[in-house]
Chains A and B, each alone.
Chain A
Amino acid sequence: MTFDCSVAVIAGGLSFEREISLRSGRRVADALTDKGYRVAQLDADEQLVEVLRAGHYDAAFIALHGRFGEDGQVAAVLELLGLPYTGSSFEASRLAFDKLAAKSVLRRAGIGVPDAIPVGQDALRELGMGALLDQAVAELRLPLVVKPNRGGSALGIRLVERAEQLPAALISAFGYDETVLLERHVAGTELALAVVDGLPPLPAVEIRPKQGWYDFAARYTHGAADFRAPAEIDAALAERCLEVAQAAHLALGCRDLSRVDAIVDQQGACWVLEVNTGPGLTSTSLVPTAADAAGVSFADLAVHLTNRAIARRPR
């Protein structure tokens, strides 16, 4: 690998995960700089195309989370610019970002996903769907999880244990997307399964929040959750979960890197909650934790992903 490579690390944007993305981006930029790459950290704003054109970069590292990044919009821009980039294509990102659409693809591929009922803001306001919410709750049974159909970092996600908590949970989730999912709650061990193309499988990471559940504060406060990497579950079960994650990654057409969030229930079944094509790369994030447990440093991971993108450069 020649070391005269320049990389644009794209982070920030107007996503609700802007702050997290800036942290991921900073970390990637520092790691690549240490490894000898020429690095520019760019915000995803209206100047992006102009700056990318002027910069003559060899590749772009997408460190965006949520809108613009994980919904594939930046990938579409980079495709048009002919600039190779890390991670999934527009189509795969878009599909994975839409939790409901991803669920049906995964289900067709034989992967277990918890049942969910979509509730649209317009269906509530203009079709009187509010009258059917009791029925939806009865079908899924309590407790259930209310989450924005698109979005990440657990923003807007609430666990509803009693029916009277539903309106507030819906309102909170609608803050982040106009479609909200009511999802069957699966009790069990929470796992983060990193899939990195071109590397041997990384161990499953088990998440043990110290209080309540793995919410935003638990995700981004050092020490608010305990991680076990590798997960302290049966080895064969862990391996099966990693196979499920790999299958999910392929089913959605993901590339380079994804993080599959899953829960293993008491019967040992692995349920995929979502597939993140732009997983967090901060110091409390799960993919770096998995890599670290496998002896892959953060810098090596960043280099590996960057070089995969550079190798896709049109010749």
Chain B
Amino acid sequence: MRADDPFLDRYAHGTRAMTASEIRALFAVAARPEIVSLAGGMPYTAGLPFDVIGNVVEEVLGKEGAAALQYGGGQGDARLREVMVELMRREGIHASAADVVVTVGSQQALDLLARMFCDPGDVIVAEGPSYVGALSAFSQYQVEVRHVRLDDDGLDPDELEAELGRLAREGRRVKFLYTIPNFHNPAGVTLSQERRDRVVDIARRHDLLVLEDNPYGLLGFESNPPDALRAKEADNVVYLGTISKIFGPGLRIGWALAPPAIRERLVLVKEAADLSQSNFNQAVAYRYFAGYPWQETLKELRDVYRERRDAMLETLTEHFPPESGVSWTHPSGGFYVWVKLPDRLDAKAMLAKAISARVAYVPGGSFFADDQGGSNLRLSYCFPPPERIREGVRRLAGVVTEELELLRAIGGLPTPDERADGGPPPAWGATQ
């Protein structure tokens, strides 16, 4: 074993930037049970009906064992694709199973679509912040991600239009807009109906392809989100769905609904990448959704997540009064709260201290392809039970207070009366 890397000059450009990182080392500690992790977005799979799933697995082996353990087609199990069409109907989408491609989680769809569309130097427009896994998938293809501001109503269409204008003037090629309209990861916000109409209109006028990523759409706590973008616009939208949040991410099943030309090519790219999806997992998923009352389980999961969201928001309010300068979003579904710390706090630098205090979060900078988000962080409420969430937020409040005192003592922070604006900053990163 040698310490240098004899293959270094042979790696593709797209993977050269992948290195060991301090944050990764810290997360290795955060995985220990002593730490309250508000970092990872792991669904609460312990709430799934294992007896039912056991029956499903038995059924698959008993009724179609040989086929389930065989190779499958590149587009995926036709029965499961019908289930996916049914799931999408709940979001106002009328589609044909012929236009659905099953993928290894929607993460694979992100990778394959970026591979299909992007050459080095191309531009992808995405919300700022955006899903870290999408940014990693895109970065392999050496694209430039341009962020568009978000607020409580989701992506800002004026900013989108302005950015598209700037890019056109620069002569840059925009390959697509990547957006998460419902219960955004990491921001927790949902695109309003009015803005959905405007985004679709902008896409039509600018001939912009939209990648609509919707992992959390069925996890609304108070009401369902407005209909999907794809419900209104079929020609310019590729819709990505997943069963990870309504069933289990361990099955690695997602899908893409795409206009026919894109769908045909996507099947070829998918076959080139992995021949086919796991037939066995697809059969399990199909039988679970087709034969069992999955809506009841989903309702129970939603109740669990709602209780956890409430625990997090209540404890945040309790520990961060308005004068703390800390603000956060108020998700009505999904897994995440996006927190804005006072400007000069660096969430990444604070992480080691937080882990020493036995609480973990994801620093906001991870959700930007540029240098924004330094004083933001993402909290997840999906996995720990409410009392652990309360304890985690309490610990975090201690860390933030200590960090502010320290920064003030070093001279890196204005004293409270020196603050120009007085009120808390918006939750959307003030580094623009």
For residue A48, CB closer than 8 A to chain B, the reply is: no
A133 at the A/B interface (Cβ < 8 Å)? yes
Candidates B4, B403, B406; contact of A124 at CB < 8 Å: B406
Judge whether A124 and B409 touch: CB under 8 Å. yes
Interface string of A162-193 (1 = CB under 8 A from B): 00001110111011100000000000000000
CB distance from B162 to the nearest CB of A (A): 31
> Which of A33-41, A82-90, A212-220 binds B?
A212-220
Quick one: given A16-B29, A19-B28, A221-B19, are A171 and B409 in contact (CB under 8 Å)? no
Q: Which of A103-111, A244-252, A286-294, A303-311 contacts B (4 or more CB under 8 A)?
A: A286-294
Which listed residue (A15, A219, A223) contacts B29, Cβ 8 A?
A15
- Establish whether residues A18 and B29, one from each chain, have CB atoms under 8 Å apart when the complex forms: yes
B3 to chain A, nearest CB (A): 5
**Residue B352 is within 8 A (CB to CB) of chain A in the complex:** yes
The smallest beta-carbon distance between B80 and chain A, in angstroms, is: 38
Nearest B-chain residue to A155, judged by Cβ: B22
B347-361 at interface with A (beta carbon < 8 Å): 349-353, 355-356
B20 near A220 with CB under 8 A, answer yes
Task: Judge whether A270 is part of the interface by a CB distance below 8 angstroms.
Answer: no
B20's partner among A15, A124, A219 (CB-CB below 8 A) is A219
B29 touches A14 (CB 8 A): yes
Q: Is the CB of B349 within 8 A of A171?
A: yes
Q: How far is the CA of A222 from the CA of B6 in the complex (A)?
A: 9
Query: Given that A175-B349, A175-B350 are known contacts, is A167 also in contact with B355, CB under 8 Å in the complex?
Result: no
For residue B20, which residue of chain A has the nearest CB?
A220
Chain A residue nearest to B25 (CB atoms) is A19
Contact between B352 and A171, CB atoms less than 8 A apart: no
* A283 interface neighbour in B2, B19, B34, Cβ under 8 Å: B2
Indicate if A73 sits at the interface (CB-CB under 8 A): no
Return the contact of B352 from the options A45, A170, A175 (Cβ within 8 A).
Answer: A175
The residue on B at minimum CB distance from A221 is: B19
A20 contacts partner chain B, Cβ-Cβ < 8 Å = yes
| Cβ contact of A14, chosen from B3, B32, B349, cutoff 8 A | B32
Any chain A CB within 8 A of the CB of B51? no
| Binary contact track B216-241/A, C-beta < 8 Å → 1, others 0 | 00000000000000000000000000
Asked whether, in the complex, the Cβ of B34 is within 8 Å of the Cβ of A174, the reply is no
Given the complex of chains A and B, what is the CA–CA distance between A89 and B19 in angstroms? 35
Separation of A63 and B56 alpha carbons in the complex (Å): 45
- 0 or 1 for each of A127-168: is its CB under 8 Å from B? (1 = yes): 011100100000000000000000001011000000000111
The answer, yes or no, to whether B209 is at the interface (CB within 8 Å) is no
Does B290 interact with chain A (Cβ within 8 Å)?
Answer: no
- The distance from the CB of B16 to the nearest CB of chain A, in whole angstroms, is 10
Q: Is B63 an interface residue (CB 8 A)?
A: no
Considering only CB atoms, which chain A residue lies closest to B345 in the complex?
A: A171
Interface residue? B411 (CB, 8 A): yes
Chain A proximity of B19: nearest CB distance (Å): 4
Partner of A156, one of B1, B352, B412: B352
Residue A206 CB within 8 A of the other chain: no
B26 within 8 A of A: yes
Residue of B nearest to A119 (CB): B410
Question: Looking across the interface, which residue of chain B has its beta carbon closest to that of A45?
Answer: B32
Known contacts A15-B29, A133-B411; decide if A175 and B34 are in contact (CB<8 Å): no
Contact A153:B25 (CB < 8 A) given known A220-B20, A223-B5, A223-B8:
yes
Q: How far is the CA of A174 from the CA of B354 in the complex (A)?
A: 11
> Is the CB–CB distance between B411 and A174 below 8 Å?
no
How far is it, in angstroms, between the C-alpha of A310 and the C-alpha of B424 when the chains are bound? Answer: 61
Nearest chain A CB to B131's CB is how many angstroms away?
23
Question: Can you offer 24 A-B residue contacts whose CB atoms are under 8 A?
Answer: A16-B25, A16-B355, A18-B29, A19-B29, A22-B28, A27-B1, A130-B409, A130-B410, A155-B25, A155-B352, A167-B412, A168-B346, A171-B346, A171-B349, A171-B406, A171-B412, A172-B349, A216-B20, A217-B20, A217-B22, A220-B20, A284-B3, A286-B3, A292-B2
Can you name 9 extra interface pairs (CB under 8 A) apart from A124-B406, A175-B353? A45-B32, A168-B346, A170-B406, A171-B410, A222-B8, A223-B5, A223-B7, A223-B8, A289-B2
Which B residues contact A (CB, under 8 angstroms)? 1-5, 7-8, 19-22, 24-26, 28-29, 32, 34, 346, 349-353, 355-356, 403, 405-407, 409-412
* Interchain residue pairs A-B with the least CB separation, the first 9: A223-B5, A175-B352, A167-B412, A19-B28, A220-B20, A222-B5, A223-B8, A124-B409, A221-B19
